[in-house]
Amino acid sequence: MMIRGVKLSVICMVVALAAVALLYNVPAHSYLPQGSAAGGVFLPEIWGTVPVPIEISTNTTGAKLLGNTSFLTVIQNSLATWNQAPNFQSPLGSPTTSTTQVPDGSNLICFCTSGVVFNQNDGTLALTVTTTSGSIILGASIFFNPNPTGVCFATDNSVSSCANGTDFVQDLQTVATHEIGHFIGLDHSAVVRATMYPFAPALETQLSWDDVAGASLLYPKAAADVGTGAISGTISMTGAVFGAHVFANSNDSNNPFGAFPAIRKSPIGILSDTSGNYTITGLPPGDYDVFAEPLDGPVQDSNVNWALDFGLGSVETDFTTGFH
């Protein structure tokens, strides 16, 4: 397997404004956004009308929810985590509150007790449903399961056990922060340390470089907070490799996003398109190793539906990891 055309150093290579404009106009074939590929060109889904109205239901009746912090505060904190991300022009408006526990057609965040299909014993904690027309997001809702089997939600670190003493304690803000990533249009990431990684730790409320790269690709700030660049290349064996997970890992100890609270350093990754091409965006200045690996676990194509987005049956996984 070869990686061609890889730039291993990104040293203040692009003026931020020009970079994000260019990258946005030429979608980076990234798996980071939700979207689909018409004619082999991946189109990310973004909100059409901003600011996006958000309704938070403060009615948590019947929810397995413990802690001294309110549900509203947890959701507001989760929204703030995204709103404060560098290089990201948040599309999210100031939330209003209600007491509904039934989906009402608004962009609702709630512990909904009816109207949402939570089956018994299905282990579902939360769902984000995104409604789109073409590549425009028309609406989205985050539904938390009030009564998940075997789990209770904690609103803060004062909770050490669930009411029954046996259920698993899951930090609510960790889940909410991930779901809000879907709300703005992000899909799952194969980068393990990313908030958008499909498998949740018990507690992780900070965004990573990978999350910032995805968010700022969709909604770039006109004047970037931190200049970033991109690495492009092609993955090939005997032919183009479709759906390889390609990620750039910084060799530097500095964190250019350090001025922003709680942005964790992580690799930034994307998936290759049907021509084997990839473009990793949102890279702060520095030296990087670039890896290409098969999407065969722990994150698989079924977690991101990359092949389906391109109308294909599967991604290529019959190769071993390589790096430059």
Partner 1 sequence: MKRRSVLFLALAVPALLFGTTVIPMGLEKLASVSTHIVEARAVRSVSQWNAEHTLILTYTNFEVRRTLKGETPHTILVRQLGGTVNGISQRVAGVRHWRPGDEAVLFLQPSSIPDGALVVTGLMQGNFLMRHTPQGQIFVSNGMPEVSEFHAATSEVTSYRGNKLRLEDLESRIQKAVRK
Site residues (CB under 8 A) for partner 1? Answer: 34, 102-105, 115-134, 138, 148-151, 168, 170, 175, 178-179, 181-182, 187-188, 192-193, 196-202, 245, 291, 293-303, 305, 308, 314, 320-321
**Of residues 126, 155, 260, the one with CA closest to residue 206:** 260
Question: What are 60's two structure tokens?
Answer: 């948590």
Residue among 29 and 188 whose Cβ is closer to partner 1: 188
Three-class SS of residue 109?
strand
Q: Tell me how far, at minimum, the Cβ of 114 lies from partner 1, in Å.
A: 9
Residue among 214 and 285 whose Cβ is closer to partner 1: 214
Q: Tell me how far, at minimum, the Cβ of 20 lies from partner 1, in Å.
A: 24
Q: Are 321 and 292 in contact (CB under 8 A)?
A: yes
Q: Which positions ≥6 away from 287 have C-beta within 8 Å?
A: 8, 9, 10, 250, 251, 252
**Of residues 107, 98, 109, the one with CA closest to residue 47:** 107
Dihedral sign, Cα of residue 190, residue 195, residue 198, residue 201: positive
Residue among 13 and 314 whose Cβ is closer to partner 1: 314
Q: Tell me how far, at minimum, the Cβ of 288 lies from partner 1, in Å.
A: 15
Tell me the HSE value of 225 on the side-chain side, using a 13 A CA sphere: 15
Residue among 107 and 279 whose Cβ is closer to partner 1: 107
Residue among 228 and 250 whose Cβ is closer to partner 1: 250
Q: Which positions ≥6 away from 83 have C-beta within 8 Å?
A: 90, 92
Q: Tell me how far, at minimum, the Cβ of 222 lies from partner 1, in Å.
A: 29
Residue among 167 and 225 whose Cβ is closer to partner 1: 167
Q: Tell me how far, at minimum, the Cβ of 43 lies from partner 1, in Å.
A: 13
